[in-house]
Structure 1
Amino acid sequence: LRLCVSGGAALPVEVMRRFEEKFGKPIYEGDGPTECSPVTCVNPINGKIKPGTVGLPVPRVEMKIMDEKGQELPPGEVGEIAVRGPNVMKGYWNLPDETRAVFRGKWFLTGDLGTRDEEGYFSIVDRKKDLLIVNGMNVYPRMIEEVLYRHEAVKEAAVVGEASALHGEIPIAYVALAEGSKATARDIRRWCCEHLGRHEAPKKIFIVPELPKNAAGKIVKRQLRKDGEIERGIDQSE
C-alpha cells in the first residue's frame, strides 16, 4: 500500500486518524463535483497535509469563497466554494435555466459551503442545502458529525434537520455503533452536549444497525429524512 486518496464525500478527521493509526499510511483528501471533471483540489502528495481540509487547487484550476452577492470572502469566512478552470463543464444538457443558476460569469458554484485559510487550503463546512437554521443561527451538520465520530462507540453518523415550530429546525442524529458497543442514545447525546453548543447538540439520536448508502458508498441523507417523515406520519405521496 503506497498511496491513499479520499474524495466524493467529506472524510471525518477521526476516521482519517483511525485509518492512519491502523495502516500507517496518510490519506490525501481532495474534492471536486462531477461538473468539474471531477477534481478541483487535493492535499499535495509531496507537500503539507492538513487534516480536515480538501487541500489546494490542482494546476490550472482557480477556487474562491463567495458570498451571496458573488463577492470573494477573506480567509476564515464561510461562503460558497466557486471554481473556474478548463475542467468545469459548459452546462447541463438541454437545461439552460439550471445552468444559469450555477454560474456567476465563468465561476461555477459548487453548492458546498466552505472556507479558505491563510495558506490557501480549502475546507468544506457542509452542503449548502444541508445547512440548518436553529433559533435563527446557522448549524452545520458536518460539524456535529465530526463530534459524533470522536466518540469511541460511534462507527458511522449522519445528521439531518427536522422542522420545529419552536426552533425552526432541530438537528437529528442517526448513529451506527462500533461492533460490541453498548452505548445508548442517552450516552451519545450527553457526549454531544459536552462538546457542542445547546443549539447544535442533536435533540434526537437514533441508534440504527447501519446507515443507508448509495453504490459509491456515500451516506444517503435524503433517505434518512424520508424515513423520519414516514415515522412522523408526513404524507409521502407528493
Structure 2
Amino acid sequence: WKIKQNFWDIIKKFGVTYVEAVPSILVALLHVRYDENDYTGIKKLKFIGCGSAPLQIELQNKIYQKFGLKVANLYGLSETGPTHVDYPLDQDWVPGSIGKPLDVNQVHIIDEKGNMLGEDQIGEIIIKGENVFIGYHNNQEIYNQVVLNGFFHTGDLGYKNKDGVFYFTGRKKDLIIKGGVNISPDEIDEIIFKLDEVKEAITIGTEDEYLGEKIITYIVLKDGKKLDGEKVKDFCKKFLSKEKIPDAIEFIESLPKGPSGKVIRREMKN
C-alpha cells in the first residue's frame, strides 16, 4: 500500500478521527520505521477499526503498546453487513471479542445438529435480522442451504460469554481435523504471533494418510530476525495441547494477499 511511509502525516494533516484497515496493514504499521515524533501527539484519531480477516489479540495489544491506539474488531459478512459492535472507548472494554450484537440482530451459537449452545461453548454463529440478505442472485438452492428458519448460517465459529459478548474463533471450512480432533488454525497463529521474531504467520491443514490432516505453519520473520522451527514448537507447547502443535514449520518471504491486503489462506494449501 502506497501511503505507508506518510501514513501518520496524512492522519495529522487531515485531522482523521477514525481509520479502518485489514490486519496485514496493522502488521505493516508495526514494521515500517517511523520516527516516534511521526505518531506521538495525535489527538483526534480515537481508535482503529480492523476487519475482513481474523484479528489476533496480540496484534491489538502491539498496536496499543506502540501507538497508544486501541483496535476494534469489526465483524460482519457480505450477507449481513455489520452485526456486532466492538467499541474500544467503552470504559470496560478489553481486546479479543467482536462485541455485542446490534439491536436489529438475533445471534446464536449452535452445534453440528442445530442445537443451541450455552456460554463459552464453541459452535457456529447464526444470525437473523432485517440487515440479513434475502437471496443470492439466481441461486435459490444455495440460499436455502444457508438460511434456515430465518437464520443465516455464517460458517463462522465462535462463542459468547456470560455477559453476552461474542468471540470469533475461526471458519468452519478452515478447521483442521487431526486424529478426530477439531483444531482452529487461528488459535495456533495467535500463539506464534506472540514470538518477537515473527512478523506474520498462517497455519493450514494438509492431508495425512494416518491422522487425516497434519498441521503446517508458514512464518514470515521480521527483518534481521532469526528463528528455527524447534523453538517455535517448544514455545507452542507452553500454550497449546499436544495435538495442536504444528507438525512442520516453514519460513517464507511473504504470504499471498488480495488487493485489500487480506491473506489468502487457500493459496497456501495449493
Give the whole-Å Cα distance in 1 for the aligned partners of 2:227 and 2:89. Answer: 40
The question of whether the paired residues in 1 share the 8 Å contact of 2:88 and 2:94 is answered with: no
Pairwise CA RMSD: 1.2
Give the whole-Å Cα distance in 2 for the aligned partners of 1:187 and 1:178. Answer: 16
Q: Which residue of 1 aligns with 2:15?
A: none
- Give aligned pairs, total: 225
Q: Which residue of 2 aligns with 1:20?
A: 64
AA partner of residue 85 (structure 2): V
Residues 190, 143 of structure 1: alpha-carbon distance in 2 compared, 3 angstrom cutoff: same
AA partner of residue 64 (structure 1): H
Q: Which residue of 2 aligns with 1:41?
A: 84
Could you list the structure 1 runs, at least 4 aligned residues long, displaced by more than 3 angstroms after superposition.
none
Alignment of 1:47-86 (within 5 A): 47=90, 48-86=92-130
Alignment of 1:9-158 (within 5 A): 9-36=53-80, 38-47=81-90, 48-158=92-202
Residue of 200, 206, 218 corresponding to 2:244: 200
Moved more, 68-77 or 41-50: 41-50
AA partner of residue 161 (structure 1): G
Structure 2 residue runs of 5 or longer lacking an equivalent are 1-44
Give the whole-Å Cα distance in 2 for the aligned partners of 1:157 and 1:211. Answer: 8
For residue 45 of structure 1, report the CA deviation from its aligned partner: 4.8
Q: Which residue of 2 aligns with 1:235?
A: none
Residue of 198, 207, 220 corresponding to 1:163: 207
Give the whole-Å Cα distance in 2 for the aligned partners of 1:185 and 1:136. Answer: 25
TM-score by length of 2: 0.80
For residue 39 of structure 1, report the CA deviation from its aligned partner: 0.6
Q: Which residue of 2 aligns with 1:188?
A: 232
The question of whether the paired residues in 2 share the 8 Å contact of 1:154 and 1:178 is answered with: yes
TM-score by length of 1: 0.91
User: 3-state SS of the aligned residue for 1:159?
Assistant: strand
Structure 1 residue runs of 5 or longer lacking an equivalent are 227-238
Report the structure number with the largest CA radius of gyration: 2
User: 3-state SS of the aligned residue for 1:64?
Assistant: strand
User: 3-state SS of the aligned residue for 1:199?
Assistant: helix
Q: Which residue of 2 aligns with 1:217?
A: 261
The question of whether the paired residues in 1 share the 8 Å contact of 2:70 and 2:88 is answered with: no
Give aligned-pair identity as a percent: 32
The question of whether the paired residues in 2 share the 8 Å contact of 1:131 and 1:140 is answered with: yes
User: 3-state SS of the aligned residue for 1:182?
Assistant: coil
User: 3-state SS of the aligned residue for 1:81?
Assistant: strand
Give the whole-Å Cα distance in 2 for the aligned partners of 1:6 and 1:42. Answer: 12
